[in-house]
Amino acid sequence: IVMTQSPATLSVSPGERATLSCRASQSVGSNFAWYQQKPGQAPRLLIYDASIRATGIPARFSGSGSGTEFTLTISSLQSEDFAVYYCHQYNDWPRTFGHGTRVEI
């Protein structure tokens, strides 16, 4: 299953809303996650089952969608949110990730 993220880069000002998209080449139901990765760090799980925030993730992060179309929304960007975001399907093997959206200032 190919995961296609858009845009590749998103330029946003602090305090603004950011909307990231991911499309799956076939339905993955709600078996879908979002991760955040900062330079030199491991990925961090943000959202799983398409819309459930992982432990400790702030409420400004929200996920939506099912089937083939998914969205991650960051309601008001904080300085620590500038990072690369990856989408991921876990409906089928092999597990696959998108190529990432870089959120920059």
Partner 1 sequence: EVQLMESGGGLIQSGGSLRLSCVGSGFTFSSHAISWVRQGPGKWLEWLAYISGTGKTEHYEDSVRGRFTISRDNSKNTLYLQMNSLRVEDTAVYFCARSPYRDGWFGDYWGQGALVTVSS
What is the pattern of x (binds partner 1, CB under 8 A) and - over residues 21-50? ----------x-x-x-x---xxxxx--x--
Show the binding pattern over residues 79-98: x = contacts partner 1 (CB under 8 A), - = does not.
-------x-x-x--xxxxxx
Closest CA to 85 of 104, 66, 102: 102
Nearer to partner 1, 12 or 54 (CB): 54
Task: Using CB under 8 A, pick the residue from 53, 54, 60, 82 that binds partner 1.
Answer: 54
Rounded (10°) CA dihedral 34, 28, 23, 94: 80
Question: What is the rounded distance in angstroms from the CA atom of residue 81 to the CA atom of residue 30?
Answer: 24
